[in-house]
């Protein structure tokens, strides 16, 4: 029986599309969707068209081919033209305005967070960051790329003659009726200018992440987080590397606090990523002395706020001012760059904040990471092997089943679609305060947390989510460096 495919959801990758020349693909009505276990899956407009089958088989020479059918032939025609665009649909893609519109449509359709225009020796790649990973979407000639980059620089009000210095700018544009804001950065490379476009507007994916309920918290984690938000004074700090979803969590927290409308909420950000109803958002420029985080925070405290969000603590002065303001009856939400939740405590002390001040104001320290979710269409379950069981403390005689990412037409052959977050949560209770005041290390506090509540560590949360099929062990290992686990092993040995 022939498989049918919902072509509105397929995301064939650049490598797969390259298997057929665009002109032939359009002419015979064939769209390669994925390579599954070595077999090229090709969707045909008409499965009884032997001419089409023969042409595709000839072009794919020695490869195994599986032909599938589209659920809806009208959708298929549209998707085929989107993936192999012809001039009738996009206009001539050699023209920069058409190329820009085409790239933006594809980026939004794929929920990309960034677009990179990366020049190389003979061609320029247009790549998109999807679920945190870069995927090549298109390659264009160096000549087309040069005109494309100039066009983008004009839109962003940059100096098009200046090609040797990095420049920053913004573009507000409209794609399929949707307002889109782009942050533009250029940098010269040996093969020409590299341009990065960050998509700031709300796309479908980020809309779903508006509320705390949709951020992948387990119920016990959500309870801890909400309790910390309900305290009228104190500090809640989120940590994680860039791109770990800290800002999304902070915004969701602000939205929750803004909802009843009886609190004065102020945020100090660099830059303001998106507007939040009910929050007074202040933009600072950390590169300039005039409006630093610390200066803005001092002035904000004179405006009678109930809740203050500080985008990021980068220095000791801001840290001290933020924590001291919690002493005088404010709830402060902020972020810090550390690898673990216990690391937040020791980092504050390293920044020069007295341990007693950390102990008396910090309510909850959170570390987070974003991990990709296995694609629902192609994921498989298999029993964990003996080494994995030993590593994660599972019973090797009765191994649990863990998800394995494979790859299909719906996930652009990556095996993943969408992301979830994992959290480490350290509630600052009497035990933690004592350890902090005694000057115990990040590792000591981590071991205490692991013994006190293993499910509250990044590792514990990740393993739980693996067993729920929300992520994979491969994804966890690729994202989290278990430095503290390693340190622990060394001590035991
Ligand atoms: Zn898939």
The fold of the 85-201 domain, in CATH, is Beta-Lactamase (3.30.450)
Element (H, E) at 473: helix 473-479
Measured CA distances, 287 to 105, 116, 239, 262, 290 (Å): 34, 25, 22, 34, 9
* Rounded CA separation 125/410 (Å): 23
Which residues are found with C-beta within 5 Å of the ion, ligand 1? 375, 377-378, 408, 410-411
Delimiting residues of CATH 3.30.450.90 domain(s) in the chain: 85-201
pLDDT per residue over 243-277, tens digit each? 898 988 999 999 999 988 899 999 998 878 778 88
Q: Tell me phi and psi for residue 241, to 5 degrees.
A: -70, 170
- pLDDT at position 209 is 65
- pLDDT at position 94 is 84
Under CATH, which architecture does the 209-375+415-492 domain have?
Answer: 3-Layer(aba) Sandwich (3.40)
pLDDT per residue over 216-228, tens digit each? 999 999 999 999 9
* Rounded CA separation 347/480 (Å): 19
Block residue for tokens 């225009």: 117
CA of 4 to the centre of ligand 1 (A): 15
CA of 132 to the centre of ligand 1 (A): 16
CA of 44 to the centre of ligand 1 (A): 19
pLDDT at 467 over 70: yes
CA of 9 to the centre of ligand 1 (A): 11
pLDDT per residue over 347-403, tens digit each? 999 999 999 999 999 999 999 999 999 999 999 999 999 999 999 999 999 999 999
């Amino acid at each position: 029986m022939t498989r049918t495919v919902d072509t509105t959801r397929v995301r064939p990758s650049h490598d797969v599309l390259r298997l057929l020349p665009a002109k032939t693909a359009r002419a015979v009505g064939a769209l390669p969707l994925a390579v599954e276990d070595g077999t090229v899956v090709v969707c045909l407009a008409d499965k009884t068209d032997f001419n089409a089958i023969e042409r595709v088989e000839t072009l794919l020479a020695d490869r195994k081919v599986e032909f599938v059918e589209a659920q809806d032939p009208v959708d298929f025609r549209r998707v085929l033209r989107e993936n192999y665009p012809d001039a009738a649909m996009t206009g001539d893609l050699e023209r920069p305005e058409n190329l820009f519109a085409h790239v933006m449509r594809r980026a939004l359709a794929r929920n990309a967070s960034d677009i990179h225009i990366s020049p190389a020796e003979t061609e320029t790649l247009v790549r998109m960051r999807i679920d945190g990973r870069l995927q090549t979407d298109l390659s264009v000639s160096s000549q087309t790329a040069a005109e494309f980059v100039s066009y983008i620089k004009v839109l962003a009000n940059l100096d098009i003659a200046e090609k040797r210095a990095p420049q920053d700018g913004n573009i507000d544009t409209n794609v399929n009726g949707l307002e889109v804001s782009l942050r533009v950065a250029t940098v010269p490379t040996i093969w020409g200018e590299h341009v990065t476009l960050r998509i700031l507007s709300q796309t479908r994916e980020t809309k779903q992440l508006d509320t705390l309920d949709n951020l992948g918290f387990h119920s016990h984690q959500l309870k801890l987080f909400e309790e910390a938000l309900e305290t009228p004074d104190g500090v809640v700090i989120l940590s994680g590397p860039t791109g770990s979803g800290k800002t999304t969590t902070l915004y969701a927290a602000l939205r929750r606090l803004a909802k009843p409308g009886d609190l004065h909420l102020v945020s100090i950000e660099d830059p303001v990523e998106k507007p939040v109803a009910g929050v007074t958002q202040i933009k600072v420029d950390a590169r300039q002395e005039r409006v630093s985080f610390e200066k803005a925070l001092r002035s904000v405290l004179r405006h009678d706020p109930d809740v203050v969000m500080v985008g990021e603590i980068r220095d000791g002065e801001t840290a001290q001012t933020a924590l001291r303001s919690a002493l005088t009856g404010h709830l402060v939400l902020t972020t810090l760059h550390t690898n673990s939740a216990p690391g937040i405590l020791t980092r504050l002390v390293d920044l020069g904040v007295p341990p007693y001040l950390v102990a008396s104001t910090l309510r909850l320290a959170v570390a987070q990471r974003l991990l990709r979710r296995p694609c629902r269409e192609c994921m498989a379950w298999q029993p964990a092997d003996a080494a994995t069981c030993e590593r994660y403390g599972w019973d090797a005689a009765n191994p649990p089943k863990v998800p394995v990412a494979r790859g299909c037409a719906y996930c652009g052959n990556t095996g993943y679609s969408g992301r979830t977050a994992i959290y480490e949560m350290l509630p600052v209770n009497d035990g933690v305060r004592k350890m902090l005041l005694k000057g115990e290390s990040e590792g000591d506090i981590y071991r205490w947390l692991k013994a006190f509540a293993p499910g509250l560590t990044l590792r514990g949360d990740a393993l739980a989510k693996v067993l729920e099929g929300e992520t994979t062990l491969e994804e966890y290992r690729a994202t989290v460096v278990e430095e503290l686990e390693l340190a622990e092993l060394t001590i035991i040995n």
